[in-house]
Amino acid sequence: MSFSLAAFLKKKRAIIITQWVDQLKTQVSLQYAERPRKELMATVSQAYDANTHVLLHNDFSYIDRFIEKISQMRLKTGFQLSDVQMAFELYRSVSFPLIAAETTVEEFFATITQINRCLTYTIHRFSNYFQAMHQNKILEHNRQLEEDVRIRTAALKESELKYKTLVEEINDGYFVVRKEAVVFANPAFCAMHGYQLSEVIGKKFYTFIDSKSRKKLIDVYEKSFLKRGTPRTFEYLRLTKDGQSFPTEILAKVTLYDNKLSSIGICRDITQRVRMEQKIRETERMAYIGQITTSLSHEIRNPLSAVQMNLQILKKNLHLKGNDQRRIDISVREVKRLENILKQLLDFAKPINLNFNLNSLNRILTSSMELLEMKFKEKNIDLDIELDPQIPDIQADEEKLGQAVINLLLNALEASPADAKIMVRSHLSDQNGRIAEVVISDKGRGVPEEHLGDIFKPFFTTRTMGTGLGLSNVKRIAEAHDGKIEVKNIRDGGAEFKISLPL
């Protein structure tokens, strides 16, 4: 029995809508994740029905009305254009595997041609409405795309190359593997891996797979021939020509290609999705740490205050004997140290709220160094200062940025031996002067290579008396200013910390 798109859309409506909403909640953005599920079910149902009118009746009026409605909704709530575009794209990633499971290769590509045409119209139409600019150009481009699809569809019916012509126009990587070698690949596949087409054809497919994923994919490839006709979706790390690895999702199916048993696959880069998932997990972890930290800090602070008060009262007792006075002094000092640690924990648990004003970066650096002047003198540390007077004022929170600088200076001070030198630099980093950099370096032992990737993580420390929050807070402050912090070891000894801030 031949495949009926109308019957498929009616039968799979609930499944596709549910999976679409699930992916909206988990794979697009935090804003979508925070929307009520009831709202998403309503909007996705409308989008699905509007797409159905296009696919079955070539009626675009429903999708036009839906685009106008969803644009107004998302503009009001501050959604990014790319997030809503990705939300529309999910219709493709949800429906394709279901279609592939019920169609022959020819039916599959005929059907996705219709869906691609629908989504091309939808996304371009939405972008046009959302941005309210370049309207004539976008509409003309859309009409040209429709004409291209019509011409190519007619050509596909008359040519043995109909499948190749189609897949050359899609953004996802499309490839065919036979006897472990790639026999066909579209331009998107070549671009994703950084190769020319002539370099791809004939190579073993595992050439394009990171060694960490290679065994897994070879096993999947071999087992897939035992379950022919069943499409499989899985994730792996693809390997580019320059040796980089990127998370990728693939939909593969074993079928006949040129009348020979082959494995056909569509692969898509999911780097942004993976990063978003990691960001969500990190946010959840930090929120949990913050809750625990706040709770414990309040529970510990009250007893500490009582202990400190009583120690100070005892210290006034004139009848202390032997080492009693020294013991009380040590106890008072340690209680104060614990209070300082609790303050750091509470500061870490709070979200960073910035008060942006135009500030002189060099003045912030100078003020921070003046505050620590006595500490530098105690250790006989010299400061080698070189501040670029050409740096313009920047939008920054003076207090928070000063706190970050002080943390780095204290870190350098602790790492430096007595009578050493600490260097403080500020300068513009790129040719257009759009980035200001603060560089603080010391002459200590440097950071062990195995710890370079960990020192900005919360609670990571190699010091017996440290909390592991100082550098973590520096990173939070830099990123809150849309900047970043980097560290590297100096060849002659010591470490260099660099904060980059956009102007």
What SS3 string covers 415-446?
HCCCCCEEEEEEEECCCCCCEEEEEEECCCCC
Extract the tokens encoding 46: 């409308």
Does the structure show a pLDDT above 60 at 159? no
- Reported confidence tier of residue 182, pLDDT bands at 50, 70, 90: confident
First vs last Cα of the chain: how many Å apart? 64
Does the structure show a pLDDT above 70 at 422? yes
Across the range 433-443, mean pLDDT stands at 85
Query: Which helix H or strand E contains 458, and what residues bound it?
Result: none
Across the range 374-383, mean pLDDT stands at 86
- Reported confidence tier of residue 296, pLDDT bands at 50, 70, 90: low
pLDDT recorded at residue 141: 54
Q: Is 460 helix (H, G, I), strand (E, B) or coil?
A: coil
- Where exactly does CATH 1.10.490.10 map onto the chain? 1-164
pLDDT recorded at residue 133: 39
Residues 6+ apart with CB under 8 A from 141: 124
Q: How big, in percent rounded to 5, are the helix, strand and coil portions of the chain?
A: 60, 15, 25
Candidate from 13-22, 73-82, 448-457 with smallest mean pLDDT: 448-457
Give the span between the Cα atoms of 141 and 134, in whole angstroms: 11
Nearest CA to 328 out of 344, 345, 316, 346 is that of 316
pTM for the whole thing?
Answer: 0.41
DSSP 461-493: -SSTT--S-HHHHHHHHHHHTT-EEEEEE-TTS
Q: Which amino acid is at 32?
A: Y
Q: What's the whole-number average pLDDT of the chain?
A: 79
In CATH, what is the architecture of 171-269?
A: 2-Layer Sandwich (3.30)
pLDDT recorded at residue 157: 60
Tens digits of per-residue pLDDT, 255-285?
A: 777 778 887 788 888 888 887 877 777 666 6
Does the structure show a pLDDT above 50 at 153? yes
Across the range 53-72, mean pLDDT stands at 86
- Reported confidence tier of residue 137, pLDDT bands at 50, 70, 90: very low
Helix extents (H) in 168-253: 187-193, 197-200, 211-224
Does the structure show a pLDDT above 80 at 154? no
- Where exactly does CATH 1.10.287 map onto the chain? 276-349
For the CA atoms of 441, 445, 449, 450, what is the dihedral angle to 10 degrees? -120
Compute how many other C-beta atoms are within 10 angstroms of the C-beta atom of residue 211. Answer: 10
CA 387 to chain CA mean position, Å: 34
Across the range 3-17, mean pLDDT stands at 88
Does the structure show a pLDDT above 80 at 241? yes
Across the range 341-364, mean pLDDT stands at 74
More confident residue, 222 or 136: 222
Q: At the fourth CATH level, which superfamily is domain 357-502?
A: Histidine kinase-like ATPase, C-terminal domain (3.30.565.10)
Residues 6+ apart with CB under 8 A from 470: 344, 407, 410, 411
pLDDT recorded at residue 363: 92
Tens digits of per-residue pLDDT, 189-212?
A: 888 888 888 888 888 888 888 888
- Where exactly does CATH 3.30.450.20 map onto the chain? 171-269
More confident residue, 283 or 106: 106
Does the structure show a pLDDT above 50 at 319? yes
Q: At how many degrees (to 10) do helices 37-57 and 13-27 cross? A: 130
Structure letter (DSSP) for residue 229: T
Question: Residue 79, exposed/middle/buried by CB under 10 A (0-12, 13-18, 19+)?
Answer: buried
- Where exactly does CATH 3.30.565.10 map onto the chain? 357-502
What residues form DSSP beta bridges with 105? none
**Cα atoms in the 13 Å half-sphere on the side-chain side of 366:** 9
Q: Does domain 1-164 have CATH number 3.40.50.10860?
A: no
Candidate from 106-115, 255-264, 399-408, 459-468 with smallest mean pLDDT: 459-468
Tens digits of per-residue pLDDT, 164-179?
A: 556 666 778 878 888 8
Query: Which helix H or strand E contains 451, and what residues bound it?
Result: none
Structure letter (DSSP) for residue 183: E
Please work out, in degrees rounded to the nearest 5, the angle formed at the alpha carbon of residue 417 by the alpha carbons of 416 and 420: 80
Q: Which amino acid is at 196?
A: Q
Q: Is the dihedral of CA 477, 343, 325, 322 positive or negative?
A: negative
DSSP count for the chain of H helices, then E strands: 18, 12
Tens digits of per-residue pLDDT, 457-481?
A: 766 566 655 555 677 788 888 888 8
Query: Which helix H or strand E contains 45, and what residues bound it?
Result: helix 37-57
**Would you tell me which CATH number, out of the four given (2.120.10, 1.20.1050, 3.40.50, 1.10.287), belongs to the domain 276-349?**
1.10.287
Distances (CA, A) of 497 to 57, 127, 488: 62, 42, 7
